[in-house]
Structure 1
Amino acid sequence: MGHRTQKPKHIIIQESIKEKIQNGEWPPGSRLPSQRALAAAFKVNRSTIIAALDELKAQGVVEGKVGSSTKVVLNAWQSMAASTPAWNEQVRWSIHPSNDLLVQKINQAETEHSFLPLSKGEMGSEFHPANALGEVFKKAGNQIGYFGYGDGRGNYSLRKAVSDYLASRGITAGPDSILIVSGSLQALQLISLGVLQPDSTVFLEQPSYLYSLPVFRSAGMHLQGIEMDESGLQTKLLEEQPWRKNKSILYTNPTFHNPTGTTMTLGRRKALLCTCNEFHLPVIEDDIYHDLWLETPPPPALKALDTQGHVLHIGSFSKTVDPGLRIGWMTGPEDVVKRLADIRMQMDYGTSAVSQVIAEHLLTSGLYEEHMHQIRHKLLQKRNYLLDLLHQNFKEEAYWEIPEGGFFIYVHFYSIESKKLFAAAFKQGVLINPGSIYHDEKSTSVRFSFAYPSCAQMENGIKIIKDIINHLKETRMKG
Structure 2
Amino acid sequence: MPVWNEPKRRRPALYKQIAQDLERRISSGEFPPGSKLPSERTLAKEWNVNRSTVVSAYEELRALGLIERMQGSGSRVSSDIWGLARHRLPNWPKLVENGAFLPNAPLLRHIRKETLDHDLIDFASGELSPDLFPAASFRRILSEQPFDWQLGYDHPQGSPELRAIIAEHVRQERGINATPSSILITSGAQQALYLVIQCLLKPGDAVAIEDPSYCYSLRSFRSAGLKLCYLPVDRDGINPDDILALHREHRLKMVFLNPHFQNPTGATLSPARKQRVLELSAELGIPVIEDDPYSMTAFSGTPVPTLKSLDRNGTVLYISSLTKIIASGLRIGWVIGPQTVIERLADAKQQVDFGHSIFPQWVAHQFLRSPDYEGHMDHLRAALHARRERFVKALREKLGNEVELFLPEGGIHLWCRFRNELDGNAVLTEAIRRGVVFVPGNVLGTDKHAIRFTFGRAEEKSIEEGIQRFAEAYREAVQNFSRTSDPLC
| Secondary structure, counterpart of 1:395 in structure 2 | helix
1:455 shift after superposition:
2.7
Kindly indicate whether residue 310 of structure 2 is the aligned counterpart of residue 305 of structure 1: yes
Kindly indicate whether residue 163 of structure 2 is the aligned counterpart of residue 152 of structure 1: no
Give the direction of change, closer, same or farther, for the CA distance of 1:243–1:313 in structure 2 (3 Å limit): farther
Kindly indicate whether residue 417 of structure 2 is the aligned counterpart of residue 412 of structure 1: yes
- 1:387 counterpart residue number: 392
Asked if the contact 1:419/1:443 (under 8 Å) is kept, the reply is: no
- 1:436 counterpart residue number: 442
For residues 244-393 of structure 1, the aligned pairs below 5 Å read 248-393=253-398
1:467 shift after superposition:
1.5
Among 416, 422, 432, the alignment partner of 1:426 is: 432
Asked if the contact 1:151/1:345 (under 8 Å) is kept, the reply is: no
1:456 shift after superposition:
3.2
Equivalent position amino acid for 1:366 in 2: P
Equivalent position amino acid for 1:102 in 2: L
- 1:114 counterpart residue number: 119
Q: Distance in 2 between matches of 1:435 and 1:101?
A: 14
Q: Which structure 1 segments of 5+ residues have no match?
A: 1-70
1:143 shift after superposition:
2.3
Q: Distance in 2 between matches of 1:280 and 1:75?
A: 54
Among 106, 128, 138, the alignment partner of 2:143 is: 138
- 1:212 counterpart residue number: 217
Asked if the contact 1:116/1:431 (under 8 Å) is kept, the reply is: yes
Give the direction of change, closer, same or farther, for the CA distance of 1:357–1:473 in structure 2 (3 Å limit): closer
- 1:238 counterpart residue number: 243
1:203 shift after superposition:
0.4
Asked if the contact 1:266/1:299 (under 8 Å) is kept, the reply is: no
Equivalent position amino acid for 2:428 in 1: F
Q: Distance in 2 between matches of 1:148 and 1:336?
A: 25
Equivalent position amino acid for 2:153 in 1: Y
- 1:162 counterpart residue number: 166
1:74 shift after superposition:
3.7
Q: Distance in 2 between matches of 1:442 and 1:373?
A: 34
- 1:56 counterpart residue number: none
Q: Distance in 1 between matches of 2:229 and 2:148?
A: 46
1:474 shift after superposition:
3.8
Equivalent position amino acid for 1:155 in 2: S
Q: Which structure 2 segments of 5+ residues have no match?
A: 1-59, 69-79
1:473 shift after superposition:
3.9
- What TM-score comes out, normalization by structure 1 length? 0.80
Equivalent position amino acid for 1:435 in 2: G
Q: Distance in 2 between matches of 1:146 and 1:296?
A: 37
Tell me whether 229-238 or 243-252 shows the greater mean CA deviation. Answer: 243-252
1:198 shift after superposition:
2.3
Higher-Rg structure is: 2
1:157 shift after superposition:
1.0
1:243 shift after superposition:
5.6
- 1:202 counterpart residue number: 207
Asked if the contact 1:362/1:368 (under 8 Å) is kept, the reply is: yes
Tell me whether 131-140 or 379-388 shows the greater mean CA deviation. Answer: 131-140
Structure 1 residues 132-171: Cα deviation after superposition (integer angstroms, max 9, x where no partner): 111222344x124542112320111111100000111210
Q: Distance in 1 between matches of 2:175 and 2:166?
A: 12
- What TM-score comes out, normalization by structure 2 length? 0.78
Asked if the contact 2:212/2:232 (under 8 Å) is kept, the reply is: yes
- 1:224 counterpart residue number: 229
Asked if the contact 1:199/1:247 (under 8 Å) is kept, the reply is: no
Asked if the contact 2:105/2:217 (under 8 Å) is kept, the reply is: yes
- 1:24 counterpart residue number: none
- 2:15 counterpart residue number: none
- 1:126 counterpart residue number: 131
Equivalent position amino acid for 1:156 in 2: P
1:229 shift after superposition:
1.6
| Secondary structure, counterpart of 2:401 in structure 1 | coil
Give the direction of change, closer, same or farther, for the CA distance of 1:201–1:139 in structure 2 (3 Å limit): farther
Asked if the contact 1:259/1:410 (under 8 Å) is kept, the reply is: yes
Give the direction of change, closer, same or farther, for the CA distance of 1:85–1:237 in structure 2 (3 Å limit): same
Asked if the contact 1:151/1:349 (under 8 Å) is kept, the reply is: no
| Secondary structure, counterpart of 1:396 in structure 2 | helix
- 1:61 counterpart residue number: none
1:406 shift after superposition:
0.6
1:296 shift after superposition:
4.2
Tell me whether 374-383 or 89-98 shows the greater mean CA deviation. Answer: 374-383
- 1:188 counterpart residue number: 193
Q: Alignment length, in residue pairs?
A: 405
Give the direction of change, closer, same or farther, for the CA distance of 1:163–1:477 in structure 2 (3 Å limit): closer
- 2:88 counterpart residue number: 83
Asked if the contact 2:431/2:474 (under 8 Å) is kept, the reply is: no
Asked if the contact 2:156/2:350 (under 8 Å) is kept, the reply is: yes
Structure 1 residues 425-449: Cα deviation after superposition (integer angstroms, max 9, x where no partner): 123332110001112x230111012
Tell me whether 457-466 or 327-336 shows the greater mean CA deviation. Answer: 457-466
Asked if the contact 1:263/1:298 (under 8 Å) is kept, the reply is: no
1:245 shift after superposition:
10
